[in-house]
Amino acid sequence: MTAVITAWSAVSPFGYGRAAFADGLRAGRTRNLVPDFVIADHLGAKGTGSMDRSSALAVATVGRLLKDDGPVPTDATTGVVLGTTSGSTRTQFEFTSESLVRRKPYFVNPAVMPYALMNSAAAQCAIWHRLTGPNSTIANGRMSGLVALRYALRLLAAGRATGIVCGAVEEHSEQRELVERHLRGGADVPVGEGCAVLFLEPAGTASAGLAEVAAVHTRLAFDAPERALAECLRDALRTAGVRPGPTLAVALSSAEPALRNVELSAVDEVLGRNVTSVVEPAALLGDAGAVAGMFQVAALLSLPASRAQWAAVPCADRDGMVGCALLRLPGAEAFG
């Protein structure tokens, strides 16, 4: 089953909303932190005293999707699927520390506990915005955005929801920088943050669409990730029933040279000279972790309408997971 993207929004280092994201991408601004994001200023003081940055970014972004970058037709079955690496690294570190150093019996702040769980952001989005359909958290590193997209397609295909708020979120913190530096063997790479969300409806029921999600495929590569990713690209093209043509855009995911080379190698092998546009949000925003895939989709949706008819979203992660989504853009064929 395919689905249509009928709205999207982002809170990113480029600013607030999809217009700010498109403008920042077009201007080539280089920054990795969401500007002036104070939780109480954006969500109010009530109910936010213990809220972590990750949950707040997600709640704020979904709010923009529903109110500013929509309109979005929600009902009792509208669901939320949100990707993350592991939730708020800072909250988890601090909560664990308090459990060890506070006086016996190690009194911790109970209000912080819900935000130490990786499903906090998705749950808060549903609570704040009264989204009562399926609520799921996908924890899959840099692949989280694509895997969340695939999971959302399954919910729609099964009739579990009439619409899905699908996205991913990642926060910046000193604790996350420490973890990322350790995973890279001490190498420093700019660590980004933000949230991007799409609204998905079943193809054929949406009145108008910005793009159709024609296919999403993932693989686990024990070795030769370039070959595995190339097969994902081929699978996506076969699923969509399309041959590569000279109107295909690509958005790369990684700021890490080794992973970027994996993506470029696979794209070159399968798509070759048919690629007319390549965008790299990670080169401007840094390693955005779980939200990287959704920033890729946002970048492709920000392209001028005449630039491409199809768009590929390849992604490779350091744990061997690879994947690709294929989007049909307006002008390729009628949809929606």
Write down the pLDDT at residue 334: 47
Write down the pLDDT at residue 94: 74
SS3 state of residue 169: strand
* Structural domains present in the chain: 3-202 (3.40.47.10), 212-328 (3.40.47.10)
Give CA separation, 13 vs 31, 37, 72, in Å: 6, 10, 24
Q: Which residues pair with 191 in a beta bridge?
A: 287
> What's the whole-model pTM score?
0.92
Phi, psi of 243 (to 5 degrees): -100, 145
- The CA distance from 295 to 287, in Å, is 11
Write down the pLDDT at residue 336: 43
The HSE-up count of residue 3 (CA atoms within 13 Å, CB side) is 27
The closest of 287, 203, 195, 272 to 233, measured between CA atoms, is 272
**Are 310 and 327 a contacting pair, CB within 8 Å?**
yes
One digit per residue, the tens of pLDDT, for the chain of length 336 reads 689 999 999 999 999 999 999 999 999 999 999 999 999 999 998 888 888 999 999 999 999 999 987 778 899 999 999 999 887 777 776 777 777 777 776 677 777 767 778 899 999 999 999 999 999 999 998 999 999 999 999 999 999 999 999 999 999 877 777 777 777 776 677 889 999 999 999 987 766 789 999 999 999 998 899 999 999 999 999 999 987 776 789 999 987 888 999 999 999 999 988 898 899 999 999 999 999 999 999 999 998 865 678 999 999 998 889 999 999 988 665 444
Give CA separation, 324 vs 88, 101, 122, in Å: 26, 45, 23
- The CA distance from 169 to 223, in Å, is 29
- The CA distance from 327 to 266, in Å, is 17
The closest of 236, 287, 293, 318 to 82, measured between CA atoms, is 293
The closest of 32, 27, 87, 89 to 295, measured between CA atoms, is 32
Pure H helices in 130-202: 144-157, 174-183
SS3 state of residue 285: helix
Distance from chain centroid for Cα 302: 15
Distance from chain centroid for Cα 235: 21
Phi, psi of 256 (to 5 degrees): -80, 125
Q: Which amino acid is at 157?
A: A
Contacts for 26 with CB less than 8 Å, ≥ 6 apart: 302
**Are 181 and 188 a contacting pair, CB within 8 Å?**
yes
Q: How many CB atoms lie within 10 A of CB 42?
A: 17
